[in-house]
Structure 1
Amino acid sequence: MEEYIGYLVLVVAIAALALVSVFLLFRPKTRRPPSVPAPPETPAAEAPGRPAATEEEEAAGTATTTVPPPPAEELVKPPAIEVPPPSAGRMVRLRSRLARSQNVIGRGLLELLSRDRLDDEVWDEIEETLITADVGVAPTRAMVENLRTKVKVLGTRTEEELRALLREELLAQVGPDLDRTLRTEPTGERPAVVLIVGVNGTGKTTTAGKLARALVGDGKKVLLGAADTFRAAAADQLQTWGERVGAAVVRGPEGADPASVAFDAVAKGIADKVDTVIVDTAGRLHTKVGLMDELGKIKRVIEKKAQVDEVLLVLDATTGQNGMRQAQVFAEVVDVTGIVLTKLDGTAKGGIVISVQRELGVPVKLVGLGEGPDDLAPFDPKLFVDAIVGD
């Protein structure tokens, strides 16, 4: 019996050994990654970018390792403060640009006046030329009547004599004696307040920025009020103009009450002792009664804090007589004190200067003669007429 048990144990052992051999023979082979020696330990105090742990923290096993943030880089640099040229003499520098567009009127009139025979047909052409240039019907008739009388008296008509006659008549219609002073000087502790108004697309915000630039060039401290709260882009545009010349800008959230923003701008202007506060307003159609009433409200609210010294109506010179009705409504609502004619360099219809002054009884004080930042100039009647009639 014992021999049988021993024999059985031997058989089981041989079978187990065979099974192990088969498993080792057929199991999948895996490649072990090469061992990488561990880096030498670095003391916490010497680890780059980590502060050394205090003794108390080491003892407690709670030492923290904080990587300080990288130094903040200035991603957007503020624009450099520019030093604009003074406003004096700007129209002289821009005269050639004005002459290129307005001299068409003068050449046409001189050609007609130089004809050997000035009959009714020629005078009708002269009248048509002036009306086409947006001089207006009433001023045109007055000019033609005066020219006919003087030509008859003169007799001979050399080119220089005709140019002198035309210059004299145009200058009389433009109004060389009108007060074109721009009231931007502070009164005592109160800054001058300039309100910019007009219809959509005439260039009000650009005019406000260019005017601020011109005043800074004249040595004045200026503050801009972004009371066009209907368009965030208008406030952003005004902000850019202010940053370029170092003028502060007061603005409110989009959709805020424009009168409130205008009031805050004037209040800050008084507190900061600035010389001039320029308030830009939203463009509005003259036919929208609600918006026109709002414009009147802006002016009334400002006047609770300070007097409004100038209300400048911005008109696009290219609209011609279409802008006359707009101008009349604005004048009725806010008592316009001066006209700004923009885009005067791009049209041969400079006669709008004559007609708008005649209709409103308000002088043209500023003209836009280009798209450059320094292309807004005080209006000079003599230079304007000289540009029309040429040398």
Structure 2
Amino acid sequence: MLGWFKKKFKKQEPVAPVVDTPPAAPEPVDKTEAPVEKSPPVVKEHVPGTAVLPEAAPVAEVEEKVEAVPAAKIMKQVPEQKPETLVQPEPDQEKKPAPAPPPPPEEKPLKIRKESEIDKEPVKKKRTLFARLTERLGKTRETFTYQLDALFLGKKEIDGEMLDDLEEILIAADLGVGTTQDLLETARRKVKRKEMYDPKSLKETLKVQIRKLIADNDQDAALVMPDKGPFVIMVIGVNGVGKTTTIGKIARKFQQAGNSVLLVAGDTFRAAAVSQLKIWGERSNVPVVAHKEGADPSSVVFDALGIAQAQNIDVVLVDTAGRMHTKDNLMEELKKIKRVMGKKLKGAPHEVMLVIDATTGQNGISQARLFDDAVGVTGITLTKLDGTSKGGIVANICKELKIPIRFIGIGEKTADLRDFDAGEFVDALFHSGTNQSE
């Protein structure tokens, strides 16, 4: 055992030659060996001398600094932070009582006022309204305008492959097969005659042709009121297209134009329809004529027209029950309502407005044809244009049906039921800039 220790000491003599003494030395030697092994990067010659002095000095200095500086700071900061954190939650807790519930009813009329103010300033906010229309047609623009730009990007010539891709884009936007073929035929003819060379001119040609399709619908989109008596509008459509909401928004438009309005709850089969119409009447302070649930719609309309004549009402808006255009018995009921109107008031209804959900696409065309055959549709309101990528149906309706589009719905607010303007619609549809204020 002693011989082994002696050998070990001989090997380590250069590292710690100072230690010569009794067996008590091996124990500290073991302790010093650990730090020596931990600090191999330090030069061996300086380890013995520096290991003792700096270790004691920095430890003492660090302890003094740590104890002196943070102790004072903590003592000053801790008492200041505690009251702040305690004071803040207490007022928050005191403000918890529910004065918040009363304000909501006061905010509702404020929203209505803001909407009416927007409606009263269409001229000042023309650019803003166009920007809103452009934004709300975003889904259609994503599948139409942006794809056109991607198709034409980097291309310098118009070829057959480009026209084939263009056909797919036009059909996806719900322009319809017939309308798409007409547009492509015009493009091919111009390319063949060398009247059109590059994709940029092709896009401009499409814009002009689509605008022409809508404009060729000769009838004016504006509603024409009779010289005498109430102006009667009969609103029809399938279930779920937004007839009652559309009636409420149109009523606001007429009322803001200075006309007296009467609403007629002709949908007697659905209790929710009557209550919904009454809500719109309360919002606009417009009277509503309604009978009990299940009453004959024709009798409701007959009584309402009598009231309108007696009170010199300017506009009468008649809601009707939603019905599938394929149900013959329900279509016959519409014919009866229209006949009763004509007997009670000569020339009524002056407008038969069909409400179409734009998200239905080409199915809306077939709906319009059947309703037109039954009661003679004179105007169309296209709702939910903001929720579909099939905005091309507007051009197809004008081309196929030759029925004017009166209004388009691009949102939930009253101001989002817009008077249809062909030029504005096409400009918004083809607008590919990122600046919405343009």
**TM exceeding 0.5:** yes
- Overall identity of the aligned pairs, in %: 43
Name the structure 1 match of 2:188.
Answer: 148
* 1:199 Cα offset (Å): 0.3
Alignment partner of 1:251 is 2:266: no
SS of structure 1 residue aligned to 2:414: coil
The equivalent residue for 1:33 is none
> CA-to-partner distance for each residue in 1:257-289, whole Å, 9 max, x for gaps?
011111222221111111110001000001111
Change (3 A) 1:258 1:127: same
Matching residue of 1:309: 350
Match of 2:403 in 1: 362
- For the residue of structure 1 that corresponds to 2:317, the secondary structure is strand
Counterpart pick for 2:314 among 266, 275, 291: 275
Q: From the superposition, tell whether residues 80 and 121 of structure 1 become closer, same or farther in structure 2 (CA, over 3 Å).
A: closer
Q: Which amino acid aligns with 1:338?
A: G
Equivalent residue of 1:374, what SS?
Answer: helix
Question: CA offset at residue 177 of structure 1?
Answer: 5.7
Contact 1:87/1:377 (8 A) holds in 2: no
CA distance in 1, matches of 2:109, 2:156: 61
Unaligned runs of 5+ in 2: 1-104, 434-438
Tell me which residue corresponds to 1:94. Answer: 132
Instruction: Give the whole-Å Cα distance in 2 for the aligned partners of 1:242 and 1:224.
Output: 7
* Structure 2 CA distance for aligned equivalents of residues 324 and 226 of structure 1: 27
| 1:348 maps to which of 373, 389, 403 | 389
Match of 2:10 in 1: none
- Contact 2:139/2:387, CA 8 A, preserved across alignment: yes
| 1:193 aligned counterpart, secondary structure | strand
Helix, strand or coil: the match of 1:341? Answer: strand
Query: Is there any run of 5+ residues in structure 1 with no aligned partner, and where?
Result: 1-75
Aligned match of 2:243 = 204
- Give the letter for the 2:211 counterpart: L
Is 1:131 aligned to 2:131, yes or no?
no
Partner of 1:57: none
Question: Equivalent residues in 2 for 1:1-391 (5 A)?
Answer: 84=116, 85-86=119-120, 92=130, 94-104=132-142, 105-114=144-153, 115-152=155-192, 153-157=194-198, 159=200, 161-175=201-215, 178-183=218-223, 185-188=225-228, 190-306=229-345, 307-390=348-431
Q: Following the alignment from structure 1 to structure 2, what is the Cα–Cα distance between the partners of residues 316 and 224? A: 22
> What's the TM-score, normalizing by structure 1?
0.74
Q: Deviations over 1:149-171 (max 9, x none)?
A: 33452454264x44432221111
Distance (whole Å) between structure 1 residues aligned to residue 214 and residue 355 of structure 2: 18
CA distance in 1, matches of 2:198, 2:160: 17
CA contact (8 A) 2:157 2:197 kept: no
Tell whether the 8 Å contact from 1:87 to 1:378 is kept in structure 2 after alignment: no
Q: Is residue 248–residue 281 contact of structure 2 (8 Å, CA) maintained in 1? A: yes
Name the CA distance, whole Å, in 1 between partners of 2:248 and 2:256. 12
Post-superposition Cα deviations, 1:24-64, rounded to whole Å, max 9, x if no partner, equal: xxxxxxxxxxxxxxxxxxxxxxxxxxxxxxxxxxxxxxxxx
* Offset from partner CA, 1:279-312 (integer Å, 9 cap, x none): 0100000111111000110111011122211111
| CA deviation vs aligned residue, 1:86-114 (integer Å, no higher than 9, x gap) | 49668636323334233221222243345
Question: What is the DSSP-based 3-state SS (H/G/I as helix, E as strand, rest coil) of the residue aligned with 2:344?
Answer: coil
Q: Relative to structure 2, which stretch is displaced further, 117-126 or 133-142?
A: 117-126
TM-superposed CA distance for 1:117, in Å, is: 4.4
Q: Which amino acid aligns with 1:97?
A: E
Secondary structure of the corresponding residue to residue 343 of structure 2: coil
TM-score normalised by length of structure 2: 0.67
The whole-number CA distance in structure 1 between the counterparts of 2:261 and 2:398 is 28
Partner of residue 19, structure 1: none
Amino acid of the residue matched to residue 94 of structure 1?
R
Q: Taking structure 1 as reference, are residues 147 and 158 closer, same or farther at Cα in structure 2, changes over 3 Å only? A: closer
**2:98 alignment partner in structure 1:** none
Q: Is the 8 A contact 2:158 2:198 kept in 1?
A: no
Count of residue correspondences: 313
Identify if the C-alpha distance between structure 1 residues 171 and 122 changes in structure 2 by more than 3 Å, giving closer, same or farther.
same
